[in-house]
């Protein structure tokens, strides 16, 4: 049997240019920096590896510091967000407009001056002063909230203004308390934290439980991959859920033929023990497809494949095309194209070409994650995804794989590949 990398590594670069991992463009770019040490701007936000705030906390980026000075006009942590625009500055005094409670001025421009402003409720200057929205007689004068003369200038006590905690439609607009736009900034209506397993939109942002971004790290929103339960209630159970793509419990079927081929690419040139380990990791279908291809190459292209990659590719293209076409990702599931693309976006980058060994290449986390995404997808999903990628290859090489920007690629995709992208999104 031929033991030439020219044969075994036939499609690795093609798969990469097809954007399976780290090479995606346009609408098929991961939402976050998926690897913090690969030299690639994975999420297309123009920040690479440790320069991307997604990588804060990664061991190799331990020198990253948050935005600590929030009023100097500088992007201190290099994440592209300056001063109060950086989430690191949330709560910073420099980014809060504070009411001074004894100067007769509406410092924070909310219509309430000094002790009539809820921000001054705990100020020593306002001790014994009526808090106009808490339902209590704070100054013990027998008058509560708006009935107290202290509250005559409070915004919450003006005519046609909604009082936000009394259960009454005070301004007659058919919206009561926190449902009224007048109350959106009232402390009584401050959003609460989303509880991720109670079926309620606790923070009133329109997203409930695991559909709320607040719950992305919640234990209730992660699929446990071997308990037979749809833990995150997304309609996919255990290994059929993209959350489980890289879980060891879901990589028991063995490598597909295409994954075996990419495993070869991970091996150092001429490392036959590594090639053999890739073969041993193959599924029955994947191994049979690869054996058929290699047998054809051995029979028809032995000399060419020991000469050069180009000569080998030309010869196998002439004599072994049907065997090459049969060597694919072996999709065997029901996952649609949109879910497949999302799944692929969660996978880490595959090991670099020629960087691995028999002990690392067959179990490479990027390779097994990608293979698992395809395994749980339908044949139609794979066809639709590659229709998008083929369209990009044919029409947007420069924009998506050359010198173009992310915007250039997106515009090119919209101009030439919108039908293919829509078909994938809707699958």
Percent above pLDDT 90 for the chain: 21
pLDDT of 119-144, one tens digit each? Answer: 776 676 676 677 777 777 777 777 87
pLDDT of 216-253, one tens digit each? Answer: 777 677 777 777 788 777 777 777 776 776 666 676 68
pLDDT of 13-26, one tens digit each? Answer: 233 323 333 333 33
Residue 174: count other Cβ atoms within 10 Å of its Cβ.
8
Placement of tokens 């029979």 in the chain: 299
- Residue-range domain boundaries for the chain: 217-242
Lowest mean pLDDT among 185-199, 324-338, 364-378: 185-199
**For residue 345, what pLDDT is reported?**
81
Q: Is 91 exposed, middle or buried (0-12, 13-18, 19+ CB in 10 A)?
A: exposed
Q: Which residue has the higher pLDDT, 205 or 65?
A: 205
Q: Show the tokens assigned to 62.
A: 């331990």
Read off the pLDDT band of 292 (50, 70, 90): very high
Residue 121: count other Cβ atoms within 10 Å of its Cβ.
17
Read off the pLDDT band of 85 (50, 70, 90): low
All residues at 6 or more sequence positions from 144 whose CB lies less than 8 Å from its CB, including other chains: 130, 135, 136, 137
Placement of tokens 């028999």 in the chain: 358
Question: Taking 90 as the threshold, does the pLDDT of residue 260 lie above it?
Answer: yes
Q: Show the tokens assigned to 369.
A: 């994650």
All residues at 6 or more sequence positions from 146 whose CB lies less than 8 Å from its CB, including other chains: 132, 154, 156, 157, 163
Placement of tokens 């515009």 in the chain: 411
What are the beta bridge partners of residue 255? Answer: 282
CA 338 remoteness from chain centre = 14
**For residue 154, what pLDDT is reported?**
72
């Amino acid at each position: 049997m031929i033991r030439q990398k020219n044969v075994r590594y036939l499609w690795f670069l093609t798969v990469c240019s097809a954007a399976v991992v780290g090479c995606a463009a346009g609408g098929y770019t991961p939402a976050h920096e998926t690897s913090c040490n690969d030299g690639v701007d994975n999420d297309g936000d123009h920040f690479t590896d440790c320069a991307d705030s997604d990588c804060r906390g990664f061991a190799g980026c331990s020198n990253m510091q948050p935005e600590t000075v929030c009023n100097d006009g500088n992007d201190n942590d290099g994440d592209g967000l300056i001063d109060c625009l950086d989430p690191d500055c949330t709560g910073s005094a420099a980014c809060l407009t504070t009411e001074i409670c004894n100067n007769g001025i509406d410092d924070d421009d909310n219509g309430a001056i000094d002790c009539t402003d809820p921000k001054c409720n705990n100020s020593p200057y306002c001790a014994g002063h009526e808090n106009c929205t808490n339902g209590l007689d704070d100054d013990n004068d027998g008058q509560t909230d708006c009935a107290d003369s202290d509250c005559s200038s409070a915004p919450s006590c003006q005519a046609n203004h909604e009082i936000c905690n009394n259960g009454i439609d005070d301004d007659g607009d058919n919206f009561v308390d926190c449902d009224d736009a007048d109350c959106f900034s009232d402390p009584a209506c401050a959003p609460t934290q989303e509880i991720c397993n109670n079926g309620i939109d606790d923070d009133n942002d329109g997203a409930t439980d695991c559909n709320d971004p607040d719950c992305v790290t919640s234990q209730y929103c992660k699929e446990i991959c071997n308990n037979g339960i749809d833990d995150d209630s997304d309609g996919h159970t255990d290994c059929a859920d993209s959350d489980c793509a890289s879980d060891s419990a879901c990589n028991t079927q063995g490598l597909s033929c295409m994954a075996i081929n990419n495993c070869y690419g991970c091996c150092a040139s001429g490392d036959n023990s590594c090639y053999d380990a890739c073969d041993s990791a193959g599924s029955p279908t994947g191994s049979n497809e690869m054996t058929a291809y290699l047998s054809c190459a051995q029979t028809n292209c032995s000399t060419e494949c020991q000469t050069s990659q180009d000569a080998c590719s030309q010869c196998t293209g002439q004599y072994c095309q049907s065997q090459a076409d049969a060597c694919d990702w072996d999709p065997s599931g029901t996952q649609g194209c949109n879910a497949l693309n999302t799944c692929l976006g969660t996978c880490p980058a595959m090991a670099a070409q020629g960087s691995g060994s028999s002990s690392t290449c067959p179990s490479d986390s990027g390779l097994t994650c990608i293979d698992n995404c395809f395994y749980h997808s339908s044949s139609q999903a794979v066809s639709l995804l590659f229709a998008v990628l083929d369209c990009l290859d044919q029409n947007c090489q420069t924009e998506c794989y050359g010198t173009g920007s992310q915007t250039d690629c997106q515009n090119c995709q919209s101009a030439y590949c919108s039908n293919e992208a829509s078909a994938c999104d809707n699958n």
